[in-house]
Every structure is written in C-alpha cells, then in structure tokens.
Amino acid sequence: MTMGSLRPRHRQPKIAMHRALVLFTAVATLAALPAALAAGEAPIVIKFSHVAAPQAHKSKGAERFKALAEEYTGGRVRIELYPNSQLYKDKEELEALQLGAVEMLAPSLSKFGPLGIKAFEAFDLPYLFRDTTDLARITEGPIGRELLDLLEEKGIIGLGYWNNGFKILSANRPLLKPDDLLGLKVRIQSSRVIEEQMTALGALPQVLAFSEAYQALSSGVVDGTENPPANMLNQKMYEVQRHATLTHHGFLGYAVIVNRDFWTSLPGDIRADLERALREATPYANAEAAKENADAMAEMRTTGKTAFHEPTAQERAVWEAALRPVRARMADRVGRSVIERIETELARPSP
C-alpha cells in the first residue's frame, strides 16, 4: 500500500481544485504581464528629463504620457521621469539629449536659440499671441510642424507642443508702467527676443537657468523676473517678489523632443505607440496647465506675499506700445517670413 492510497478519498477533489486554481493563477499572471516581459525581452528605456517641479503640470503631462506609452507598447518601453533639474539644468539638458545621455525632454520654446534654431523665438514676441487658441492655430498647423522639423539637423526630433501659459512680470517694487522696470536686473530664459523685450522696457536682462532663479531673486542677484503663475508658485518665487503685474505680454510653452538617432532606431510600431501616447497625453497636459495657472493665481493671492496688479485697458496699451518695436527689431533674427506667416494666420498685422 502506498502512502498515497492512504489519503482519505474525500480530500482528492479539494487537491484537484487547488491545482486548477494554481494553474489558473499562473495563466492569469502571465496574461497580465506585459508581452515584452513575458517573452523575457528587456524593455527599451526612455529617460525623460525636465526642469519643472514634480507637482507641476509638465510633470503631470509626463506621467500621463508614461502611463499611456507603457500601456500601448505592452511594456516594451519603460519611461523614467527625472523632473526638477535633478539630472540636468536648462542648457545641459539639451546637450545631454544631443549626446544621447537622455532620450526625451520638454524644454521651453524660448531655449532653442542657443542651439542656433532662432525661429522658435517667434513664440516669445510680445503680444503676438493673445490666448491659447492663437497658440493652437500655430502649434497644431503647418508652421508648428515646420518649426519642429528645423530641430532635425541638430540631432533632435520634435514630437509635439505642450502649453504652460501667459507670463506676468514681478519685482520688489510696483510695476505699473514700463518705466518702473528701469535699471532692474531681470532673470530671463535664454531667448534673444526676451532679452530685447526687457531692454525695450529699460531693464537689464540676465539669462539664468530655471533652477537658479529663486536663489538669484532671494539673494538680490536679480530684482525681478517673468513667469506664468504656476512657475512662480512652484518655484516659490512669490515668496521673494512683493509685486507682480498681469501683463500677459508673452507665452511660455514647450516642445516635447527626442534624440533623433534613438528615435529612428526604434521599431516603427513602437514609434507609432509612443506618438499615440503623446497625442492623447497632450490635451490632458494642456488642461492641467490652464487649471494650474488659474489655481496658482488664487493660491498666491491667498498668501498675500505678492500684490498683484491687473493693468487697466489704458495701462495695457502703454505696455503694448513700449514693446511694439521688438517685433521689427527681432525680425532678422527670428525670420521675417515666419513672423509674417504667423501674423497672417492669426490675422494680426505687424504693429
């Protein structure tokens, strides 16, 4: 008599049930595993670096992109997110992308000038864009596509655009009119158009990395700056700027970009999945940007640390007049034809 035959007969169905359950669980687990992992293939890793805070809308857009990209590629791609300049600051991140040290970024459109792609500075021209509908007419049309295509010769592929918002000017004195900026040192991004804009207002522009702006403001290295409200809040700049004026003179937006050689080496189906993920993450990223900028204004107002000034129609006309010459002065740098095409598309003639 074997040990097995001593088993009480009534236990056998239970054992069979247990085995079936184990088998079922194993099959279910395998089915739930991403295809790539089940096949033992190592996922393709995309390091996505950026300078915005982990709680910022750019991070939320990146997180949504990551979730969709990993889902659509069945785990064949893993996106690693590195927010808050933890890997690279503004200038370094573009160099790192070109060298292939990271695969993906979402820098501001104001940061491509130093690479030699000056046409992007059209997005910085004061009072050219009035709202995000204006922006979408350019970024979602042929002009936006042609601008992204200019990046290719620099080893970069432009996949799309994400919004931040319209900028406000801040300092430790009231900025009720352009002359109030006379002699103030103002932190700017690395755009010659923004530099010319600050010069036109009588300020002294200083290019500084985003990650250095708070420190520069709090130590008095610079006196003022310009930001969409979400950036002013997330970087705590409102704590060290007692006044701000809602000039909305310019827009801050992003290009979502990848290293060209990495991108072209990917299988076509993976590229299509990633493009789909980005296409679907973009409306979410833009909606979060709009919401966060509105919420940031409300939150900063509540703290009472900064006095916000809403220009009257007359005051706004004075700001516009002071910044009017910038478009003509920067036409050679940015490219007359790109400016004219944007003006025509928006039905907004040269001032």
Which residues are at the interface with ligand LMR (CB under 6 A)?
Answer: 51-52, 108, 164, 189, 210, 231, 252
Cα separation, 140 vs 55, whole angstroms: 26
Q: Pick from 60, 93, 22: which is nearest to 234 by CA?
A: 60
Which amino acid, one-letter code, is at 31? A
Cα separation, 331 vs 58, whole angstroms: 30
In terms of C-beta distances under 8 Å and separation of at least 24 residues, what long-range contacts does 97-102 make, across chains too?
97/49, 97/155, 97/156, 97/257, 97/258, 97/259, 98/154, 98/155, 98/156, 98/259, 100/259, 100/261, 100/262, 101/47, 102/47, 102/48, 102/49, 102/259
Q: Compute the least distance from the CB of residue 121 to ligand LMR, in Å.
A: 13
Q: Compute the least distance from the CB of residue 192 to ligand LMR, in Å.
A: 15
Q: Find all residues with CB under 8 Å of 274, minimum gap 6, and list them.
A: 69, 72, 73, 77, 159, 266
For ligand LMR, the closer of residues 108 and 245 by Cβ is: 108
Cα-based torsion angle of the residue sequence 122, 46, 233, 197 in order, rounded to the nearest 10 degrees = -20
Q: Compute the least distance from the CB of residue 220 to ligand LMR, in Å.
A: 19
Bridge partners, 186 (sequence order): 205, 224
Q: Pick from 343, 340, 323, 350: which is nearest to 195 by CA?
A: 323
Cα separation, 26 vs 18, whole angstroms: 12
Q: Compute the least distance from the CB of residue 164 to ligand LMR, in Å.
A: 5
For ligand LMR, the closer of residues 73 and 190 by Cβ is: 190
For ligand LMR, the closer of residues 221 and 318 by Cβ is: 221
Reading the block at residue 79, the tokens are: 């996106």
Residue nearest to ligand LMR (CB): 108
Q: Compute the least distance from the CB of residue 51 to ligand LMR, in Å.
A: 5
106, 255 Cβ separation under 8 angstroms? yes
Q: Compute the least distance from the CB of residue 316 to ligand LMR, in Å.
A: 23
For ligand LMR, the closer of residues 108 and 286 by Cβ is: 108
**Interior/surface letters 39-66, b for 16+ CB within 10 angstroms, e for the rest:** eeeebbebbbbbbbbeebbbbbbbbbbb
Reading the block at residue 149, the tokens are: 């295509």
Q: Compute the least distance from the CB of residue 247 to ligand LMR, in Å.
A: 16
For ligand LMR, the closer of residues 77 and 300 by Cβ is: 300
For ligand LMR, the closer of residues 231 and 286 by Cβ is: 231
For ligand LMR, the closer of residues 52 and 338 by Cβ is: 52
For ligand LMR, the closer of residues 150 and 216 by Cβ is: 216
For ligand LMR, the closer of residues 38 and 207 by Cβ is: 207
Q: Compute the least distance from the CB of residue 106 to ligand LMR, in Å.
A: 7
Reading the block at residue 279, the tokens are: 């296409």
222, 206 Cβ separation under 8 angstroms? yes
Q: Compute the least distance from the CB of residue 79 to ligand LMR, in Å.
A: 18
Bridge partners, 327 (sequence order): none
